[in-house]
A = this chain, B = another copy of it.
Amino acid sequence: MSSLINTQIKPFKAQAYHNGQFVTVTDNDLKGKWSVVFFYPADFSFVCPTELGDLADHYEEFKKMGVEIYSVSTDTHFVHKGWHDASDTIKKIQFPMIGDPSGKISRDFEVLIEEDGVALRGTFVINPEGQIKLYEIHDLGIGRSATELIRKVQAAQYVASHKGQVCPASWQPGSETLAPSLDLVGKI
């Protein structure tokens, strides 16, 4: 088995709840800009709202970076609306909430737990060509951080736009980077 890095995302077609509407989202909507696909286990369960609220609070920053966010669970879009209506935290969400009741998208991103029918906490950063550039997967109880995600997306975007320059650890925008050179081998 090999990783999903640099693989093309698989085709999909799904219903999402977005700004009070039911809309159709396909893999083509992810092309031409950077995207974050953010899986979580289940609507109306306990910890997920805080992760999603954390994302909602940083949504403006992602938009400025030219990044769209798609949250995905195996609930239907009907349920997403029901939850959006019922929860104050979820009400803050302005990005599309994709319904994946057949589990196809979760299965294609290899985060579906088949026997439970729900997704693990998996975050995928996808470039404008539709290729997965980085991802992280957590066991069900372990929450993710929106600020860490922002740093990673920035690093991925920087590497993409500065071919030949390498991105050292814990890089932040504005940090100095290293242009690779034979003289550096064994020197750093």
| Known contacts A76-B75, A117-B74, A185-B44; A141/B169 CB under 8 A | no
Say yes or no: is A128 at the interface (Cβ < 8 Å to chain B): no
CA distance A169 to B52 in the complex (A): 8
For A20, the chain B residues whose CB sits under 8 A away are: 182
Q: Judging by beta carbons under 8 Å apart, are B141 and A166 in contact?
A: yes
| Known contacts A87-B188, A120-B3, A137-B5; A169/B78 CB under 8 A | no
**Chain A interface residue number, banded:** 35 or more
Minimum CB–CB distance for A150 against chain B, Å: 11
Q: Judging by beta carbons under 8 Å apart, are A110 and B142 in contact?
A: no
Q: Report the stretch among A25-33, A62-70, A152-160 that lies at the interface.
A: A152-160
Say yes or no: is A95 at the interface (Cβ < 8 Å to chain B): no
Say yes or no: is A47 at the interface (Cβ < 8 Å to chain B): yes
| Known contacts A44-B81, A89-B188; A145/B118 CB under 8 A | no
For A169, the chain B residues whose CB sits under 8 A away are: 47, 50-55, 143-146
